[in-house]
Homo-oligomer: A and B are copies of this chain.
Amino acid sequence: MLSDIDICRTTKLASITDIATQSGLLAQEFHPQGQYKAKVSLKALHRVKDNISGKLVVVTAITPTPLGEGKTVTTIGLSQGLKKLQKSVFACIRQPSMGPIFGVKGGAAGGGFSQVAPMEELNLHLTGDIHAVTAAHNLASAALDARIYHEQRQGYDDFEARTGLKALRIDVRNVVWKRVVDHNDRALRMVTVGRNEANKTINGYEREDGFDISAASELMAILALSEDLADLRRRIGKIVLAYSLDGTPITTEDLQVAGAMAVSMKDTIEPTLMQTLEGVPTLVHTGPFANIAHGNSSVIADRIATKLAQYTVTEGGFGSDMGFEKACNIKAASTDKKPDCAVIVATLRGLKANSGLYDLKPGTPIPDSLYGEDQIALKAGFENLKWHINNVAKYGVPAVVAINRFPQDSEQELGTLMAWVEKLGCRVAISEGFAKGGTGTEDLAQQVISACESPADFRPLYRQEQSILEKLTTVCEAGYGAGRVTLSYQAQQQLAIYEKQGFNHLAVCLAKTPLSITTDGSIKGAPTGFDVVIRELRLCAGAGFVYALCGNVMTMPGLPDKPAFMSLDLDQDGNIVGLS
């Protein structure tokens, strides 16, 4: 079979103007950026806001393994299958971060005959939104350190007299806003900034700091959850950057930098329109990871899509304990459009890997035995799929299991797995989007259409008026199935402060490993009664949630010893090679 990039390059794409027009956008509602990308104006949303909404399908998965389950392939493939069945359809996906692309993945545009194209544009800078988020984020950091420096150097009274500004008296030990970069750069996790040569003070005030990957920026979440530009601006103004010496939260408004941040992010409010290899209009918008952020594409993109098409297929990152949980408990709270159906992606090899009977490590070759028949491993791994089917049911969303087929898969095992799923009363279909594009997902599309017609009774796990602690406990216990939730001393202190400051109405966004339902990536299958330790909380008042770091999850990935970037280059004609 051809490589992803070869398939992508040999497919004749439509001009983005044709894609936009066919999808129901008017000429003044989109701005082409070159031949195959267009920014979509929110004017479109304003025009169609009273349309009846189409169905919203959220693609999720079993607990992922280092092998990859093909969630994006299934998302794109399904959208193409729906198109084959003469339905109007949009796909809504996130912009890939360059961190994982250069680090491990080498690309994140789907694959085979189910790709968003051109894949090199999707995988690299696209229309610059992640860069704009990064720039706005780091502007706040520069503003904060500059204010600390000038207030300290001039003295509070002199600072006020000279500038006419109120001294903020920032507590340098209580700065909660880190910097960000869109790379996997572990050396930046913990840094000391403001260092000076001996006896000098020209480089600012020395303090401990760190960098997160841009996908974990609160600004990324704000962008994904905002209704419009005015909402974006309002939310940015609520961000708490630090605390003063007397414990008062210091916001971006206090620093008078919220406006400039919104200016820097102005164009990011517009989703980028692209197309799949079979011409399905695809909105690419925002890029939060589902382990260290809320893991879903934007409210705005979903809204444009559901107002224009009968079906919108989107995805929540990682397993249903991750992106799907946040789609239901965080994202759905910011929009009137609730999920009509969930697709749970599973693979034979992924289920076997979830059995705990294989020792798989990222970067090491997949054992051949995983492709042979192994009913024992399949049966053990099936517990994980069952867990995710049950998890989706908690939210009152009808589910369809999509078995993403690989060429080596055994017909008999596929049949067995289908029978097991059907026995649970759950819809199921084989999905062959990778090898066959939309033709390979028509069965799945039929099942999704049927699920969308069944009565939905969407309900999030918690209500806004519950306390932060109740919400955390609910997600861990009712959601993950934990037996006990413990907060570290630091997290307890933070919780007390947030409660006192009136942030109890916020949602909760848990950051944890995606490789297990628990907070320990080595525990496979469908464990119950485990402990969850929340080691740290972070207030995201603009995004509207309290961020809870569990286990040893890190908000800045690192590069492996043989990173994916090593195979990337330009050939003699200037074409990109090595992106997959």
Contacts and interface: CB of A to CB of B under 8 A. Distances in A.
Contacts of A419: none
A146 B576 contact: no
Interface string A494-525: 00000000000000000000000000000000
A568 B163 contact: no
A154 interface: yes
B142 A574 contact: no
Contact of A187 (B162, B197, B204): B204
A372 interface: no
Interface in A239-256: 256
A325 B25 CA distance: 52
A190 B181 contact: no
A141 B181 CA distance: 12
A187 B186 CA distance: 20
Contacts of A266: 124, 570, 574, 576
A159 to B, nearest CB: 7
A149 B184 CA distance: 13
A558 B35 contact: no
A112 to B, nearest CB: 22
Interface stretch (A59-67, A257-265, A437-445, A463-471): A257-265
A142 B139 CA distance: 21
A183 interface: yes
Contacts of A181: 138
Contacts of A127: 128
A399 B170 CA distance: 53
Interface string A170-213: 00000000000111111111111111110000111100110000
B185 A142 contact: yes
Interface in A531-575: 558-563, 565-566, 568-570, 572, 574
The interface residues of chain A, by DSSP majority, are classed as mixed
A289 interface: no
A146 B24 CA distance: 47
A158 B132 CA distance: 41
B563 A259 contact: no
A190 B197 contact: yes
Interface string A422-438: 00000000000000000
Contacts of A39: 34
A290 B223 CA distance: 36
Given A34-B31, A102-B260, A146 B563 contact: yes
Contacts of A128: 125, 127-128, 131
Interface string A7-40: 0000000000000000000000001111100010
A98 interface: yes
Given A32-B33, A142-B559, A146-B560, 16 more contacts: A33-B34, A102-B142, A124-B264, A124-B266, A125-B135, A125-B264, A131-B134, A141-B185, A146-B187, A150-B561, A163-B561, A187-B193, A191-B191, A192-B195, A259-B578, A262-B570
15 contacts: A125-B135, A128-B128, A128-B131, A138-B181, A138-B183, A142-B185, A142-B187, A150-B560, A150-B561, A186-B202, A189-B203, A190-B203, A233-B569, A256-B565, A266-B576
Q: Which 9 A-B pairs have the closest CB atoms?
A: A259-B569, A260-B565, A131-B131, A145-B187, A146-B559, A187-B204, A128-B128, A190-B195, A142-B185
